[in-house]
Amino acid sequence: MKIAVLAKVVPDYEVPAGDFELAGNRAHARYTRMIGLYDENAIETGIQLKEKYGATLGIVSYGQSEDVPILRKAIAMGGDSLHLVLGESDDPYVIASNLKIALEQLQDVDLVLAGQQSADLDRGVVHGVLAEMLGCTFLAQISRIESDQGRWTVCQNHESGSRMLQFSGKAVLSITSSPENVPRIPAVRAIMAAKKKPVEKLQGTDAPPMQVEEVKVEIPKLESVCEFLPFEDMQETSRMLLARLREERYL
Amino acid sequence: MRVPYWNIDYGFLIDILAIPALAVFLSGLYGHYRKIRKGSERLKTRSDKLPWKFGPVFVRSVLTKGILGTVIYRKFYTGLAHGSVFWGMLVLGLGTTLAFANLIAKVPVFSGSFNRWFMAFGLDLAGVCVLAGLLFFLLRRLFPPDRLVTPRERSGFFPMACLLAVILVTGFLIEGMRIRASAPELGSFVGNFVAGLIPGSDHITSYHRYLWWFHGLLALAFVVYIPYSPMVHMVLAPINTALADPRPGPKMGVIDFSRFDDESGEEMPSMGVAKLADFSRKRLLDFDTCLWCGRCHEVCPAAQTQQPLSPKMVMATLAGFLSANDFTDDSLADAIGVDALFNCTTCAACMEACPVSINQPKAIMKLRQNLAMERSELPELMSKAYNSLEQRRHPFFGTGSGPKDWQKGIDVPIFAPGQTEYLLWVGCAATYDERAQKVARAMVKILSAAGVSFGILSKPRCTGDPAKQIGNEFLFTEIAQENIAEFDELGIQKIITLCPHCFNSFTRHYPELGGHYEVIPHSVLIGELIAARRLVPEKSDESICLHDPCYLARRNHIEDPPRLALEAVGRLVEMPRSKRESFCCGGGGGNYWSESSGVRINQVRAKEALDTNTDVIATACPFCLLMLTDGAKKYTEDQKVFDIAELIAARLNLN
Ligand code: SF4
Ligand code: SF4
């Protein structure tokens, strides 16, 4: 069994709103870079499958050489090999075409896992486009995966419940976070070993981008409006607070 | 003149029997030595020259803690009882040696005033002291305080104390019979008294003879049994104190990770400790020496708030593995409990209380290192802090503050190489926590007012100390090395810290990684600036109690400077537990990021502070500030907890 996990290096996804700023329509370069939140869930899911079914696990990324030290974490967590396609595009079609190069190089990948959406652009489209390009099944929001006699059984999470699905053949799955796939902390020995692992760097391709133009990028301005509620009766104040929160659509 | 071996034929046989007894005694001690030698490292001797240090032996410690037993007297009655038994036995031992010297070399100890005042009066008095002390200990074993029996009691003390008491009583009876059968003896006040109680009998000399042999054989049995019983502490405790580095705190040192790079070695060394054989020899000696007295349990903030950790339990569990000669079982952490190991706040209260200089937190931290680095097992919140440290180089995950938020509206100079004197090291808490940011702002105000040449780093950094406390030495080393490289580049030599954890890291661990700086905690610098009248805060009649941060008072013996600073602005009131005996806020050892349930350490400490009824609770550590602020919320809505810098800055008249 061969599994590939797509991992993207993104700017810190926990930068407080008040501190967030753009430079050239993207997050400022001063923010620390790290593997995306859901991508780590996907890596964890991949490692669990590797441990359970003896699969090999390749980590595939599209980005720049500077991302390599960050991506090594995926190897330290349990990935077997790291493949980086070099490129800088933000276009989902270009990214998918480039990731396809690495997947083809890996040959016969049974399952491609990816975080349900990247932590920077939050689009959640690349894996769908990639599945289309690879001509295989695409399922989103998957939290659990099992394999039995060539068939996959997966659990698809929804806001209000879950669905069990079965399919056979190759697939691209977008992985959501669940209590079962909390990313593990790599052991120090694994971190040390990961630092020495060779990385396969592949030249990216200039695939035609989607015919979409980015006109403007805006981030909400942080505003704080302070409103004091009268405090005489605690229960009454709680009721008022609840009503106000609903009114403002926070709840 | 008293006749040695009066009424005893072949009395010298007891001296001859002493030879095999001594051999068994020494072989028992050798058994301890052999076990301890299985430790992974030899004793590391500090290279710096210290007065009273010869090779690995800290002479002052062995004299004070080892022989005089100074720590034992912190519990007055136990200390008194222990002192009576210890010194009494020493005098009795000396008496027996002198009697032997008389036998073989005719040393005239049984005549004149020496006989009266030492051999008769002195030895009787010593015997009474030992008996009184033993009576105290026996009663205490029958009605034990909680610390002796929680989590479990050490067997072996009671029978040995009974045996010793029987030896003493039979000794007095022999003396009484001898006097009854001969004549009263000057100075032997117990012997004469006992003689008065013994009825006259023709068989008295026979009884005396039998009892003499019984007494002698029992005494030999006692000596033989010492190494196989808890009484071995008589030998091990002085050795342990002699070899314990007297600097305060656990002295964790740093790990040289290049050792783990060589994969060709037959057996990879373990990161931290998984099995007994991974512990150093000194740690094994610690486990062997532990008396299970529970003094550490009594002061441990975790144990006192009913969390799974008890340092005594840790020592007792490890001692169990040692006595079973089980050096390869790698389930030590599980035997103690993973939760318990993460409960430790590294406050070192246990070390401070231990009468025999045991380093409990080091053993705990070594086991924790293995959990963190080899098994990747961390409690949930700690793992989030760890991840944040690893990714962002600060542990305040989910913070709502940007790195420069604390500087809003104030002018903070950036450290300029060759021009600025001090680096103001803000640290992670004062950068990323909104409450603690006020401390950094106050300190900037103070330093500017005093005209100190200072600057901050353009990009905030963390010392890496939280990683070390969580147990991940590797991450700590990485972060520390990055910091050292930056300091070297900027030519930083002097550092002001706002956080005692940073101070401790810079002074204790950075030098071992090549970073040598002059570091001063902000509370000390403030005290110095006030003393030099570079700061003249307004004095008020506000009452202030100071919560001593463990990493200042206990782990670095900095107790008075913060007090001097506070006395300049108010009236200082001491809490029941203060200075080196301060009770932890609960935030150390990475436990700022822990989910505690039930009684919480910070609430216990906040209550103790609030009970002083002072206007203000002061501290000198951002983590203590946050923990106590949170703890006090249970009891009051008033904001009463402040950092020293905030209190001083508020009283500076800058016109
Ligand atoms: S570690 Fe020290 S204080 Fe704790 S039980 Fe052992 S001897 Fe007593
Ligand atoms: S260092 Fe503090 S928390 Fe840890 S065992 Fe000792 S007393 Fe308890």
Dump pLDDT digits (tens) for B598-627: 789 999 999 999 999 999 999 999 999 999
> What is the chain B residue with the closest CA to A184?
B376
Q: Inter-chain contact A16–B257, Cβ cutoff 8 Å?
A: no
Facing A192 at nearest CB: one of B260, B383, B404: B260
- Over residues B397-409, the mean pLDDT reads 92
Res B44: pLDDT: 64
What pLDDT score was predicted for residue A15? 87
Residue range(s) defining the domain that contains residue A66: 2-203
With tokens 């990055």, the residue in question is: B482
Residue bearing the bigger pLDDT, B204 or A220: B204
Q: Which CATH architecture is the domain B539-650 placed in?
A: 3-Layer(aba) Sandwich (3.40)
pLDDT at A227 (0 to 100): 85
Does residue A9 lie within any of the structural domains? Answer: yes
Of ligand 1's listed atoms, the one at least distance from the Cα of B297 is 4
CA distance A199 to B57: 52
3-state secondary structure of B252: coil
| Residue whose CB lies within 8 A of the most ligand 1 atoms, among B148, B231, B287, B296, for a mutation test | B296
The C-alpha atoms of residue B280 and residue B276 are separated, in whole angstroms, by: 9
CA B22/CA B635 separation, integer angstroms: 62
**How confident is the model at residue A233, as a pLDDT?**
85
Q: Where are the domains of chain B?
A: 12-242, 257-373, 392-529, 539-650
- The answer to whether A69 touches A188, Cβ cutoff 8 Å, is no
Q: Is B259 on the interface with A (CB under 8 A)?
A: no
Is the residue at A181 inside a domain?
A: yes
pLDDT of A83: 96
Measured in angstroms, how far is the CA atom of residue B344 from the centroid of ligand 2?
5
Tell me what pLDDT residue A122 has: 74
A24 assigned to some structural domain: yes
Cross-chain Cβ contact B373/A14 below 8 Å:
no
Measured between beta carbons, the chain A residues lying within 8 angstroms of B260 are 188-189, 192
Task: Evaluate if residue B264 carries a pLDDT over 70.
Answer: no
Closest by CA position to B336, among listed B356, B314, B363: B314
What's the CATH number where A73 sits? Answer: 3.40.50.620
Describe the crossing of helices B189-197 and B123-142 by its angle, rounded to 10 degrees: 70
d(CA B87, CA B84): 6
Instruction: Calculate what percentage of chain B has a pLDDT beyond 90.
Output: 83
pLDDT digits (tens, 9 = 90+) for B460-506: 999 999 999 999 999 999 999 999 999 999 999 999 999 999 999 99
Please check whether residue A210 lies inside any domain of the structure: no
- Return the structure tokens found at B634: 């249970």
Contact A188 B261 (CB under 8 A): no
A191 contacts on B by Cβ (under 8 Å): 474
Residue ranges in chain A modelled with pLDDT below 50: none
- Determine the average pLDDT of the residues in B432-440: 96
Domains B12-242 and B539-650 share a fold: no
**Per-residue pLDDT tens digits for B290-347:** 999 999 999 999 999 999 999 999 999 999 999 999 999 999 999 999 999 999 999 9
Contacting residues for B505 by C-beta, under 8 A, at least 6 apart: B463, B464, B465, B468, B480
- Would you say residue A180 lies in a domain? yes
Query: A70 vs chain B: nearest CA distance in angstroms?
Result: 9
At residue B266, the pLDDT reads 59
Contacts of A187 in chain B (CB under 8 A): 373-376
CA distance B102 to B521: 62
At a CB cut-off of 8 Å and minimum separation 6, what does A193 contact?
A76
Mean pLDDT of chain B: 93
A214 inside domain: no
pLDDT of B162 higher than 90: yes
pLDDT attached to residue A230 = 86
Q: Is residue A237 part of a domain?
A: no
Question: What topology is assigned to B392-529 in CATH?
Answer: Rossmann fold (3.40.50)
Contact between residue B25 and residue B232 where contact means Cβ atoms under 8 Å apart: no
A9-11 and A33-35 beta bridge pairing? antiparallel
- Cα–Cα distance between A61 and A42 in angstroms, integer? 13
Q: How far apart are CA A78 and CA B592, in angstroms?
A: 30
- What number of helices (H) and strands (E) belong to chain B? 30, 10
The pLDDT score that the predictor gives to residue B67 is 83
Do the Cβ atoms of A156 and A140 come closer than 8 Å? yes
Assigned architecture for domain B12-242:
Up-down Bundle (1.20)
Q: What is the pLDDT of residue B42?
A: 67
Q: Decide yes or no: CATH 1.10.10.10 for domain B257-373.
A: no
pLDDT of residue A198: 92
Picking from A16-30, B99-113, B531-545, B555-569, which range would have the lowest pLDDT averaged per residue? A16-30
ipTM of the complex: 0.86
pLDDT, one tens digit per residue, over B26-80 is: 999 999 999 999 998 765 656 666 777 888 888 888 888 888 888 899 999 999 9
Instruction: Indicate the pTM of the whole model.
Output: 0.92
Question: What pLDDT does residue B267 have?
Answer: 67
Find the residue in A nearest to B375 (Cα). Answer: A187
| pLDDT single digits (tens) B86-119 | 999 999 999 999 988 988 888 899 888 999 999 9
Judge contact between A4 and A106, C-beta under 8 A.
yes
Tokens for B429, please give them: 């808490």
Contact B344 CB / ligand 2 (< 6 Å): yes
Rg (CA), chain B: 30
A232 in a structural domain: no
Q: How many domains does chain A have?
A: 1
List, chain by chain if needed, residues with CB within 6 Å of any ligand 1 atom.
B 290-296, 311-312, 315, 353-354, 356, 358, 360
Cβ–Cβ pairs < 8 A, chains A and B: 54
Query: Which of A12, A185, A186 is opposite residue B392, by nearest beta carbon?
Result: A12
B288: left (phi over 0), alpha (psi -120 to 50) or beta: alpha
Query: With 90 as the cut, is the pLDDT of residue B214 above it?
Result: yes
Could you say which ligand is closest to the alpha carbon of residue B283?
1
pLDDT of B421 strictly over 90: yes
